[in-house]
Amino acid sequence: MKRNLISIITLAMLSLIIISCNNQERKINKEGVESDKISVKSSILDEYGQLMPNCKNMLTVDVEGIDIADALVYIDNDAGDAYMETEGVGLVPYEASNSISMIVSFEEEGGTKEFEVADKTPAPQVRFFNAETNVIQDYDIENVTAVVVEVVADDKFAELFPEDSEYVITSFTAKQMRGEEELNSIIVESDYSNNQIDLSNLQENAQTDDVIVVSITGLQRIDFEGNAHDVEIPEKMQEINLTVQ
């Protein structure tokens, strides 16, 4: 009797080991569907190879045997939000430099797909233009019309994230310099929310070879829900030297 009991226990343990090995080989996830049955397509992944934090990353998701429109899609461990939209699934990771698991669940079946999240969104760009003609200018500016400094999204980022690519300047300084002498200045430390800086006040009395030095000290990105996210100031925006011609 004792020998039979030992044999039964041994057989049961062997069966568990075999099942465990088979599951590992097939990469069956906790919801019961093989992970390779989930396919994802996205221009965002094609461009960056990862998702952007605090942005709506649009994906086309297909799962073999499941109508994605009827499925529950969410991000595991409350690490982000998932939105079902007509053009696909929108994933919004909360944290940068992280990885998230998207779970697709339908009745008794489901599966997971992991994605890496970038450490930050692409740096925005700065440009300068004639306020009357909107012609983009370079670092040499004319004093006959007001020049505007503008911060806008990287072109590709704006294309892929049209709802997440608005930027606003929250603080800045602008100084009119003649040689080493500071002639005039504008200092804005709060209560500013615009992607443009009008330099006309500093240009009024400027002469040829005067330099207008602009330093952007506060910058935010506005996401698709209207939330503001602080943005690291790119080096090129920390000191912009515009020479009057």
pLDDT of the residue at 33: 58
Q: How confident is the model at residue 141 (pLDDT cuts 50, 70, 90)?
A: confident
Cα Dmax for the chain:
106
CB 202 within 8 Å of CB 146: no
Residue 93 lies in a domain: yes
Q: Please, which pLDDT band fits residue 8 given cuts at 50, 70 and 90? A: very low
Same domain, residue pair 102 and 186: no
> Per the domain annotation, does 4 fall within a domain?
no
Looking at the chain, the whole-number percentage of residues with pLDDT higher than 90 is: 66
Backbone angles phi, psi at 220, to 5 degrees: -135, 150
Residues 112 and 144 reside in one and the same domain: no
Strands 99-106 and 72-75: antiparallel
Q: Are residues 147 and 208 in the same domain?
A: yes
Q: In terms of domains, do 92 and 165 share one?
A: no
How many domains is the chain partitioned into structurally? Answer: 2
Q: Which of 19-28, 34-43, 183-192, 219-228 is least confident?
A: 19-28
Q: How confident is the model at residue 142 (pLDDT cuts 50, 70, 90)?
A: confident
- What mean pLDDT is reported for the chain? 86
pLDDT given at position 3: 45
Would you state the pLDDT for residue 34? 60
Query: pLDDT at position 184, please?
Result: 96
pLDDT at 190 over 90: yes
Mean pLDDT value of segment 22-40 = 54
Instruction: Select from 94, 116, 138 the last residue of a domain.
Output: 116
142 and 206 both lie in a single domain:
yes
Query: Distance between CA 135 and CA 127 in Å, rounded?
Result: 10
| Mean per-residue pLDDT, 119-128 | 96
Cα–Cα dist 58/138, whole Å: 35
Domain that holds residue 220: 125-244
Which of 87, 116, 145 finishes a domain?
116
**Average of pLDDT values for 59-70?**
86
Domain end point (choices 116, 144, 176): 116
Of 38 and 56, more confident: 56
pLDDT at position 18: 34
Structure tokens, 61: 């998701």
Would 17 be classed as within a structural domain? no
112 lies in the same domain as 36 = yes
Q: How far apart are CA 109 and CA 104, in angstroms?
A: 8
Q: Over range 113-140, report the average pLDDT.
A: 89
